[in-house]
Structure 1
């Protein structure tokens, strides 16, 4: 049985025109299995964000294929991509991307409303995910009334409420203090363990990365190294991540 949720094959991405062409991604291939929590790390300009943008359908690849839950997104038309993104993908961004005019409840419910689900079903799903993330008491509050950590938990709830095949997180702890970061990462762990949520997370932060099962390190648009947590404690995994960061050529300023 093939349990790969994500299959990236021979991916290339070029930017620019004939006068000046940049190869942002250079023949990258990797798989993510159902229920895995995978981190992507690399110095600034390594191609990690470009890679995430291609997987999230924000950017088009130059060559290669990206298979998510059995569908090759590189062959889809704009309308199909729109539906696919809504049904199959969940997003958690660094800057939360919550709508200021909606309550936390409404922000979480929005994707379900757009899909045309019944009100009673929406209510059930929103309350279930809020309970899991411990945010039931802020559902009626607006984004300006809650902390950064709470906003990111609401964003996390919004990402998971549709039961997507894949959650894509782009620097999810980038705007958070260390306490809020830890709370969010524990939420990710919980979603991953209890719901078998499949998470692909781009981060420059070794502490954040140490919550994942496996880290892909990208340098100059290629996969440079891979570290698997296995039975390591998080502290041991963190130390191994730091070793690779050092190997990346003194880029720890950019990676940590």
Structure 2
């Protein structure tokens, strides 16, 4: 399969010599195009830091991160802004929608910034809204729609530019169980039908079971990783729980 993300020996330290915190310590991994990867670990394990350095929100202390061969750890200025704008999609736990814009306008904004023609923007918004089942709320404002609908609008905004990577930070954290299940099913369908590459940080084993691969982080290092393989989601969930138990502590502390 085609490799899309390569991480080589990255570390991320905070503080100084007298008070040094190792958030990530010498992590290496490869993600293929079309993978749906869940990143799991206890609070403070380094999983969010890992997502942040992949997204270029934060910088690594050492090591390199390549997206389709481009070393993104060396990007600066306009090149860095262009990479974030055109190659990455973000799904946030708290949605990050603009309250003064309709759902349509929130989704379209990413393309308007790129000066895409209005006719093409409309076609792409309608297409992605249909994929995520939100065509009927495009003219509503964030205050007029549910949390689950807001998250699907956020997801639409993340994928409208056809990014190389979609990065999701606890996307179901603010949703009820029904809305969570609906969002995860939509993300899984996007991944399977359109080969959208998704990296999702989550505490939740149920959410992780929708992925095709799970990476467990402990104390800033990769503790374990495995693919779904040929099993169903229930078997994958059980396997995730087994590894969670090896991480130590109660399951509720980790997932």
For the aligned pair, the TM-score class normalised by the smaller chain equals: over 0.9
* Cα distance in structure 1, aligned partners of 2:15 and 2:99: 36
Aligned to 2:253: 254
Task: Tell me, yes or no, if the aligned pair for 1:94 and 1:171 is still in contact at 8 Å.
Answer: yes
Alignment of 1:25-104 (within 5 A): 25-104=24-103
Runs of 4+ in structure 1 off by over 3 angstroms are: none
Partner of 1:142: 141
1:11: Cα distance to partner? 0.5
Q: Distance in 1 between matches of 2:53 and 2:135?
A: 34
Tell me, yes or no, if the aligned pair for 1:43 and 1:251 is still in contact at 8 Å: no
Residue 68 of structure 1 and its aligned partner are, at CA, apart by 1.0
1:211/1:234 contact within 8 Å kept: yes
For residues 154 and 141 of structure 2, what CA distance do their matches in structure 1 show?
13
Question: Equivalent residue for 1:230?
Answer: 229
What root-mean-square deviation, in Å, do the aligned CA atoms of Structure 1 and Structure 2 show?
Answer: 0.8
Question: Gapped runs of 5+ residues in structure 2?
Answer: none
Q: CA deviation at 1:78?
A: 2.5
- Which has the higher mean CA deviation after the structures are superposed, 246-255 or 141-150? 246-255
Out of 77-86 and 198-207, give the one that drifted further: 77-86
Where does residue 239 of structure 2 map in the other structure?
A: 240
* Contact 1:227-1:241 within 8 A present in 2 as well: no
What corresponds to 1:216 in structure 2? 215
Q: Distance in 2 between matches of 1:188 and 1:55?
A: 20
Give the alignment's TM-score, normalised by structure 2: 0.98
Unaligned runs of 5+ in 1: none
Aligned residues: 255
Distance (Å, rounded) in 2 between the aligned partners of 1:250 and 1:155: 33
Deviation at 1:251, TM superposition (A): 4.6
